[in-house]
Amino acid sequence: MNHFGKVYKEILKSIEEKGGMAFTVIDPPNQDPVVAGKIAKIAQECGVSAIAVGGSVGAQGELLDSTILQIKDNSSLPVILFPGNIASVSKHADAIYFMSMLNSTDPYYITGAQIASAAPIKRTGLEIIPTSYIIVEPGRAVGWVGRAHLIPRGLPYLAGITALAGQYLGSHMAILESGGGAPEPAPVEMIAYTKKMIDIPLVVAGGVRNEKYAYESIKAGADIVHVGTAVEEQSNDLSKVKFTLKRIVDSVSKAGKEKL
């Protein structure tokens, strides 16, 4: 426990108390930093627990910094970097998912990028959250870029043992990622099996488009759902963003209470 940081400790506490959380994913290239700040403000008002920033290969440099600063100007939620590459690092965030794509066929995405980025990340002072990143069909852009050997949706066992291997290797979190814009998240059978195999928080990302998928994912065993595309697609109408996030957060809260 001594090497757990403030953000991760708060995640563990919230899981214990709430049973489930929703994080909003903001990918800097997909909206102006000012709009990102407005989305963050709405997210906090709706009960979102954290903002994950990144996801694409374009989330870096001045755009990344400006987006995070706007988020922090408009909310007090923790900002966790969700890096799409080794350049997706900013000292302005609170923490970073230090991810290894366990089912990539390219060693670069398993250990290479991590070695290349370790020293620069250390210099930022960011809180590190070691994270197993597991790509599930259809995988979409992240699966293609990361050369993932996709976990078949009909084989929950493979996701479970992959996450368990990640835990044994030292990960503090596991993410089942179906890819940004996926039509639906990982199957509930896969979520349930994976959660039974591991003792670390489980995140379901990709395809959590509505309150139904959010509720089902948390009820099946996920501790956290990432909500990205559902917000991005409505970022030109913030009233719709608020409506969508409120419904998703309410469904996550309901599922979490039922799970406890």
CA-based Rg of the chain, rounded to a whole angstrom? 16
Sort 26 into a burial class: Cβ within 10 Å, 0-12 / 13-18 / 19+.
buried
Residue whose C-alpha is closest to residue 248's, from 206, 223, 222, 213: 213
Query: Would you list the DSSP string of 175-213?
Result: EEE--TT-SS-S-HHHHHHHHHH-SS-EEEES---SHHH
- pLDDT at res. 32: 94
Distance CA 120, CA 196 (A): 35
Helix (H) or strand (E) holding 51: strand 50-54
- pLDDT at res. 142: 95
- pLDDT at res. 52: 98
Q: What is the pLDDT of residues 126-160, one digit of tens each?
A: 999 999 999 999 999 999 999 999 999 999 999 99
pTM of this structure: 0.97
| Rounded percentage of the chain residues whose pLDDT exceeds 90 | 96
- pLDDT at res. 2: 66
Q: In Å, how far are 36, 61, 77 from 90, measured between CA atoms? A: 16, 8, 16
Q: Whats the size of the chain, residue-wise?
A: 260
pLDDT in tens for each of the 260 residues of the chain?
Answer: 667 999 999 999 999 999 999 999 999 999 999 999 999 999 999 999 999 999 877 889 999 999 999 999 999 999 999 999 999 999 999 999 999 999 999 999 999 999 999 999 999 999 999 999 999 999 999 999 999 999 999 999 999 999 999 999 999 999 999 999 999 999 999 999 999 999 999 999 999 999 999 999 999 999 999 999 999 899 899 999 999 999 999 999 999 999 99
Residue whose C-alpha is closest to residue 95's, from 127, 120, 67: 127
Distance CA 83, CA 65 (A): 13
Distance CA 74, CA 71 (A): 5
The two tokens of residue 8 are 């991760």
- pLDDT at res. 57: 78
- Are 253 and 13 spatial neighbours (Cβ–Cβ below 8 Å)? no
